[in-house]
Amino acid sequence: MTTFEISGNDFALDGEPFRVLSGTIHYFRVPKEYWADRIHKARLMGLNTIETYVPWSLHEPLPGVWEDSGRLDLGAFLDAIEAEGMKAIVRPGPYICAEFSGGGLPGWLFRDAPPVAHLNNREAAGHTPVRSLDPAFMEPATNYFRRVYDIVAPRQITRGGSVILVQIENEYGAYGNNHEYLQALTDLTRACGIDVPLTTVDQPAGTMLEDGTLPELVATGSFGSRSAERIARLRELRPTGPLMCSEFWDGWFDSWGEYHHVTDPAASAFELATLLEAGASVNLYMFHGGTNFGLTNGANDKGLYRPLTTSYDYDAPLDETGHPTPKYWAFREVLGRFTQLPDEVPSDRGPAPVRSGSFSATAPLSALAQEWLPCQSLTMDSVGQYSGFALYRCFNDDDDVSTHTLTISEVRDRAIVHADGRRVGVLERMDNDQTITFEGSAQNIEILVEDMGRVNYGPRIGEHKGLIGPILLDGEETGQWEIAPLDLDNLAPVLASLNVEQEGEEDVAVVGKIKEPTFVSAEIDLDEPADLFLDTRGWGHGLVWFNGNLLGRYNRRGPQRTLYVPAPYVRAGANQLLVLETDPVVDMRWGLLEGPDLGPIDW
C-alpha cells in the first residue's frame, strides 16, 4: 500500500521526502471536456499536484438534492488527475470563500434567519448556526461531508488513488476560534474514511493561525508576498513539520466597476522562488482560474458592494481559456530549479472565429413570471429563490400624478422600478441607492430585482436577497407586495414566446427597440466548434446563454468586455445565442472577437 505521511519536516511518499508543487484548478469553473488539457499543462509547467475546492452550494442546491454530473463530477476530476500521474488535494469546506457565491454555503441554510442580520462574523456568531456546532448547521454539513467523502475516500493515495491531503475548514481563523468545532470536523473526516494527512490554512496575521488550526493538523499559510516573513511566522507556530503555503496568491480577482487586476510575473516568480528556497511546499492559487459560469460569482461588501466579474481569469499562469501567460513561463523557469521539467511545452492560442450580426427575435422577461406569491418579508429567500431575478408588484390607491418618492431600506442588489408601466429608474446597491423620485401616477409599482452575487467573505455572508423593507411611497408604507420568482433554469416559456421578425421587417435590435428587460435571440452559423469570445461592448446589463448554457453576466461598468464561450458549448452549423438585456440599448448587435478582452489594467 502506498503511504503519504509526515516525516520530520517533510511530507513523505512511501518513506521518501516529497515536496508538494501544486496548482489550483476548480473543476466547477472549467468544462469537463477541458479538465485533462488543463491538468496536463500543469504537469508541463513542473507541478506534481492539483488542488481544488468543493462547492457545497452547487452539489446540494436544495436540501437532499445532490448534483454531480458534468463539470460537477468531482470523482471524474480526481480520476483525471490520477490519469496524468499527478497527486490531488481536496478542500471541501464547508465554507470555501473562492470568490464564489456565498463562499459555497447553500442559500437554503439561511432561509429562516433574520433577513437584515449580518450573519457571519465573530461578534454575530451567536446569531447564526453556520461554521459552528449548532445542530442546525452540523446536521446538513455532516450529510454533505458524507457525500463528498464517499467520492474522495476511495481515491486516496493509500487506496491506489491520487488524493494526498484533505483540508479542514478554510481560513477559519479569520472567522472564529472554536476548536471544538474544528475537532468535530476532524473527527467526522476520519470517521468517513479519510486517512491521509489533514491540513488547515490561514493568513499569517494576528492570531489567525492559532485560532484556525489544531495541534494534530498541518497548519499552512495563505499569502502572495513577503514570503520569507510569512514562512518564518509559520515556523514560529510549528517548530517542526512541513512548511507549506496552501494559497500562494499569484494574481487577483476582478469586480465590476474596477480595473482588470494583474501582477508582475517577475515579482510573483521571485516570491515563489523564495518559498521553494526555504524548503516549503506550495499550492499556486490559481494555476488556472476558469469562469464563473451561470450565477456563481461571489461579491465583497466592506461598506461598498462589489460583485465579481464572470471571468475568473485571476491573472493566473494559465489564462481563463487554458493558454499559457508570461507568468506560466516565469514560474516554469523557477520550478525547473527544483524539479525535472518535461521536454514538452504547451502551444500558443490561435485566433478565434470573428463574426457579427443582429438579433432577430425577442421575448418579454415577463414570460418567466409564472406565479405570483404573497410576500411578507420581501426577500427572495423567503420563497425559496436563492439566485437570479424576482419580480415584485404592489397596488396602491393613490392616483396622484404629481412627484413621488419611493424609498427602499436596502436593495439587494439591483432594482429596476416601473410605475404604471413606465420605467422610472434603477436603484443600485453598488451605489448605495435607496431613493428614487419620479413624476406621474403610481398605482401599480413593479420592481425587477437581481441578485448580482452573494457575499463570499466577511460579515455579510448569509444575508437574504431581494428587497429589505420597509418600502415607503411618499413617506408612507405601501400596500401588500407580491413576488414572482423568475426561474432561469426553465427557459421553455421564453423560447415558446420568442417573436421571430418576419422577412422584410426592420431588425428589432438595430432600430433600438430594446427599451425594457427583454430576451433577444440570434442564430450564429459556424463551420466547427471552437472557443469563442462574445463581444459585450455596446450592451447594457444582463445574462447570456449559448446553446442553452448560461455563460454568466455582462455589465457595461466593465472591466470585462468579452464573455468566453468554450468550444464544448459550440456546435458545427447553427448555434443559438440568447441574451437577457435589462437596460435600454439603442443599437444592440452581437459580435465574436478573435481573443478575450478583460478590460484596462491598473498596475
Check residue 504 and give its pLDDT: 40
Do 423 and 546 fall into the same domain?
no
Q: Which of 486, 502, 528 is the last residue of a domain?
A: 486
Do 443 and 575 fall into the same domain?
no
Query: pLDDT grade, residue 122 (50/70/90)?
Result: very low
Distance in angstroms (rounded) separating the CA atoms of residues 97 and 81: 23
Do 201 and 145 fall into the same domain?
yes
Check residue 321 and give its pLDDT: 98
Whether 115 and 381 have beta carbons less than 8 Å apart is answered as yes
Question: CB count, 10 Å around CB of 8?
Answer: 10
Mean pLDDT, range 398-423, rounded to an integer = 93
Query: pLDDT grade, residue 343 (50/70/90)?
Result: very high
Q: Is the pLDDT of residue 88 over 90?
A: yes
Reading phi first (left if > 0) and then psi (alpha if -120 to 50, else beta), residue 259 is in: beta
429 occurs within a structural domain: yes
At 346-389, the pLDDT tens digits run 988 889 999 999 998 889 998 899 999 998 889 999 999 999 99
**Number of domains within the chain:** 3
Mean pLDDT, range 467-494, rounded to an integer = 93
7 occurs within a structural domain: no
To the question of pTM greater than 0.85 for the whole model, the response is: yes
At 487-518, the pLDDT tens digits run 999 999 999 888 754 344 444 444 347 899 99
Q: Which of 486, 518, 553 is the last residue of a domain?
A: 486
Do 150 and 243 fall into the same domain?
yes
Do 266 and 415 fall into the same domain?
no
Of the residues 51, 247, 320, 410, which is catalytic?
Answer: 247
Exposed (0-12), middle (13-18) or buried (19+): which is 101, by Cβ within 10 Å?
buried
What mean pLDDT is reported for the chain? 94
Q: Is the pLDDT of residue 311 over 70?
A: yes
Do 426 and 557 fall into the same domain?
no
346 occurs within a structural domain: no
Q: Tell how strand 435-439 and strand 499-500 pair up.
A: unpaired
- For residue 34, give its domain range: 18-95+131-295+304-335
Chain center to CA of 288: 14
Do 476 and 496 fall into the same domain?
no
601 occurs within a structural domain: no
Of the residues 51, 82, 99, 171, which is catalytic?
Answer: 171
600 occurs within a structural domain: no
Check residue 127 and give its pLDDT: 45
Reply yes or no on whether 247 is catalytic.
yes
443 occurs within a structural domain: yes
Do 462 and 503 fall into the same domain?
no
Q: Which of 486, 520, 546 is the last residue of a domain?
A: 486
pLDDT above 90 coverage of the chain, percent: 88
Residue 83's SS3 state is helix
At 158-168, the pLDDT tens digits run 999 999 999 99
Q: Give me the phi and psi of 58, to 5 degrees please.
A: -80, -40
Q: Which of 21-25, 494-498, 537-541 has the lowest mean pLDDT?
A: 494-498
CATH number at residue 136: 3.20.20.80
54 occurs within a structural domain: yes
Residue 469's SS3 state is strand
Query: pLDDT grade, residue 125 (50/70/90)?
Result: very low
Check residue 118 and give its pLDDT: 46
Do 547 and 466 fall into the same domain?
no
Check residue 129 and give its pLDDT: 80
Q: What torsion, rounded to 10 degrees, do the Cα atoms 67, 497, 424, 406 define?
A: -50
Distance in angstroms (rounded) separating the CA atoms of residues 98 and 101: 8
Do 215 and 279 fall into the same domain?
yes
Do 181 and 237 fall into the same domain?
yes
Do 438 and 586 fall into the same domain?
no
Check residue 128 and give its pLDDT: 54
343 occurs within a structural domain: no
Reply yes or no on whether 523 is catalytic.
no
CATH number at residue 413: 2.60.120.260
